[in-house]
Amino acid sequence: MRLDKENTISFDTLIGTAGAVAQGTADHGAVIDNVKAGNSKDELYIVGSVRESITSGGAATVQVKILQDSASNFGTAETIIDTGALALSGLTAGTRLFAQRLPLALKRYIKATLTVATADTTGGKLDIFLVDGVDFKGM
């Protein structure tokens, strides 16, 4: 996979200030502006993976959602991916959380949100990016 800075939501990015996130939902990383809505010429995938294990003083869960919208304020956002609540045991370094083709008729803006529940997180990093091909071996 080749990464492109303009098509990266997060790369080696802490999941909050110093990797700590209080319980609740917050945006994660940058918003990708596709300039206009529509289909890509070739297949385009969104990939999410854990770069550095997510940690918690308790039994935190983390849910990652990828949203799309026609407006930058995400007032009528549609969910592309929803991982559901993931336990810490599934949030270890090197774990691929998702690798999915983006939908046809993609909206202009894409972003990620994280929802932390049960306990606060104390550290960890995620990568979320768009690529033109994915190695599905081992998934």
Rounded Cα–Cα distance for residues 39 and 93 (Å): 33
**Does 99 reside within a domain?**
yes
DSSP of 52-110: EEEEESS--EEEEEEEEESSTT-TT-EEEEE---EEGGG--TT-EEEEEEPPSSB-SEE
**Does 98 reside within a domain?**
yes
Please give the pLDDT value at position 103.
Answer: 84
Per-residue model confidence as pLDDT tens digits over 95-139: 999 999 888 888 889 999 999 999 999 999 999 998 887 776 654
- Per the structure block, which two tokens stand in for 7? 């098509």
**Does 36 reside within a domain?**
yes
**Does 115 reside within a domain?**
yes
Distance linking the first and last C-alpha atoms of the chain: 15
- Per the structure block, which two tokens stand in for 5? 């800075």
**Does 53 reside within a domain?**
yes
User: Please, which residues have CB within 8 angstroms of residue 137's CB and are 6 or more apart in sequence?
Assistant: none
Per-residue model confidence as pLDDT tens digits over 57-90: 899 999 999 999 999 999 999 999 999 999 999 9
Per-residue model confidence as pLDDT tens digits over 31-63: 777 765 555 556 788 999 999 999 998 999 999
**Does 44 reside within a domain?**
yes
**Does 137 reside within a domain?**
no
4 has pLDDT over 70: no
Please give the pLDDT value at position 1.
Answer: 47
**Does 139 reside within a domain?**
no
Domain that holds residue 73: 5-131
Cβ contact 116:62 at 8 Å? yes
Counted domains in the chain? 1
CATH of the domain at 31: 2.60.120.1110
